[in-house]
Amino acid sequence: MTLLVAIFAALALFAGSALLLLVLVRRSSPTETRLAALQSQTRATYDSEAPDKAQVHDVLSLLTSPLAPFRDWLRSNDQELSYRLAVAGYRKPEDADTFLSLKLLAPIVGILLATFAGAGNFLLYGIILAVLGFFAPDMWLFSAINRRKTRIGKALPDALDLLVICMEAGLGIDQAVIRIAGEIKPIHPELSEELVIIGREQRAGKPRLDAWRSMADRVDLDTIRQFVAMLVQTERLGTPIARALATFADGLRIKRLMLAEEQAAKTTVKLIFPLAIFIFPALFVVLLGPGVLSMMKTFQDLGR
């Protein structure tokens, strides 16, 4: 087993050294240099707004550039990766490369951590940590998607109320959406980002309903789909949109209240297991313990 640990450690050291040599020796061709210059020009605005993030991404791109063939292979086997990252809020082209690089580097880190487990348990811990490291980015992405959907769902009723107020004040729905996107940004940045995208798509000439349908596809939330269906129906029937928005917002609040009442009703059943496992045994010891001790003492006296 000691020989096996030495072999794995040597392989890990060799992989790290080869990765470092590839990073240091690799030189860019004139075409790659020109493409990099064009890319840096297109990202000038992003770099000026977030220089720290840009520097971190450049360093990460340099370190993970030898992993490009493996990233391409993983990307070809996962056609929905870009869509899942977009649903989680990561829509930049480099986000997919960062995710795949972490997916490839995490198993190597897990194997290196397994060397601290000792010679006897190295193989078992190495396999477990490598598998967990490979699937950890997917679990994190799944959690990020659920968190973003929950935040957008909670923010939608407040945004609809503001939309109704703006429309009753005389603004059109397009101008109201842009205004609301700026107002709710400090509190609900996820929904604000989606509304900003809708405004930009409409400025580019995209029809209103198509822009809202695109938002429903990006968010992948049933509440947003119902909202878009309500907008389509209102547009076709010619009903007042402000009244329809107010009714839809009230319906969302009632649905949220019923969901909270349902969760509250389930607490009685959920409390049975903690009571049976932790509280009832302690009560039995406190209540029956003195009686049991007295009976034991009485039996001992009778035995004498």
Which residues, 6+ apart, have CB-to-CB distance to 195 below 8 Å?
Answer: 159, 177, 178, 180, 181
What pLDDT is attached to residue 2?
55
Mean of pLDDT values over 110-129: 78
Residue 295: enclosing H or E segment and its boundaries?
Answer: helix 280-303
Predicted confidence (pLDDT) at residue 71 exceeds the cutoff of 60: yes
What pLDDT is attached to residue 24?
45
pLDDT tens, 3-31? 454 555 555 555 555 555 444 444 445 55
What pLDDT is attached to residue 143?
92
The two three-digit tokens of residue 107, written as one number: 């198993």
**148-267 domain in CATH 1.20.81?**
yes
The domain segmentation of the chain, as residue ranges, is: 2-146, 148-267
What pLDDT is attached to residue 161?
85
If you search the block for the tokens 């607490």, which residue do you land on? 267
The answer to whether the CB of 126 falls within 8 A of the CB of 110 is yes
Give the number of other Cβ atoms within 10 Å of residue 118's Cβ. 12
What pLDDT is attached to residue 229?
87
Predicted confidence (pLDDT) at residue 299 exceeds the cutoff of 60: yes
Q: What is the mean pLDDT of the chain?
A: 76
